Amino acid sequence: MKTSAIFYHAGCPVCIEAEHQVAEALDSARYDVKIVHLGEQKKEIEAAEAAGVKSVPAIVIDGAPFHINFGAPMSVLKG
Amino acid sequence: MKTSAIFYHAGCPVCIEAEHQVAEALDSARYDVKIVHLGEQKKEIEAAEAAGVKSVPAIVIDGAPFHINFGAPMSVLKG
ipTM of the complex: 0.92
Cα–Cα distance between A40 and A77 in angstroms, integer?
A: 9
Cα–Cα distance between B79 and B64 in angstroms, integer?
A: 26
Run of H or E including A14? helix A13-21
The residue of chain A with its CA nearest to that of B28 is: A27
Beta bridge partner(s), residue A66: A59
Most distant CA pair in chain B, distance: 37
- Chain B residues with CB-CB distance to A under 8 A? 3, 5, 17-18, 21-22, 25-31, 59, 61-62, 64-70
What pTM does this model have? 0.94
Render pLDDT for A14-64 as a digit per residue (tens, 0 to 9). Answer: 999 999 999 999 999 999 999 999 999 999 999 999 999 999 999 999 999
How many residues in chain A? 79
Give the closest of A22, A61, A65 to B61, CB-based: A22
Radius of gyration of chain A (CA): 11
Cα–Cα distance between B14 and B31 in angstroms, integer?
A: 23
